[in-house]
Structure 1
Amino acid sequence: MAQHLAQPTATPVLPAKLPLKAVAPWAVFFGILMLVLLYFVGAEQGATSVINGTGVHEWVHDARHLLGFPCH
């Protein structure tokens, strides 16, 4: 004799809602950080140089070529 087993009902799991006020400061911070990194990789040499010497250029040299920025 087979026993009747009730099928468990699955309740959907919804992701937690994050308020915009909690996310906005982090989004602005990382946006500014990405712009600063893009500047150092893409434009830190020559007339727009903020740091004297070629140290930054040599540090990000391969990243410049990988991202398609000319440097020679």
Structure 2
Amino acid sequence: MAHSATHADSGVSIPVIPLGELLPWAVFGGLLLVLALYFVGAEQGATSMFKGMYVHEFVHDGRHLLGFPCH
């Protein structure tokens, strides 16, 4: 059984997103990822944003899972 080499127009189109519209969302997502990385990896000691160890204890297991030493 041979398949036809021609394709019928199915009416499905893939939307094209201009870079100007995508770039702000990519920057926003990148900033969120950097913020999450900070809280998991560095939220303690001299760079601490919050008093106490609450954030550290909240992300403690994730910190070890990602390979960050904390004690």
Amino acid in the other structure paired with 2:18: P
Q: Measured at CA, do residues 9 and 39 of structure 1 come closer, stay the same or move farther in structure 2, by a change above 3 Å? A: closer
The size of the alignment, in residue pairs, is 66
Residue 11 (structure 1) shift: 2.7
1:35 aligns with 2:34: yes
Residue 10 (structure 1) shift: 2.3
Identity within the alignment, %: 59
Partner of 2:24: 25
Give ranges in structure 1 of 5+ residues lacking alignment: 1-6
- Counterpart Cα distance in 1 of 2:61 and 2:7: 55
TM-score (normalised: structure 1):
0.80
- Out of 5, 11, 20, which is 2:9 matched to? 11
Partner of 1:50: 49
Partner of 1:64: 63
Which deviations, in whole Å up to 9, do the C-alpha atoms of 1:10-50 show, x marking residues without a partner? 23755211101110110010100100000000000112111
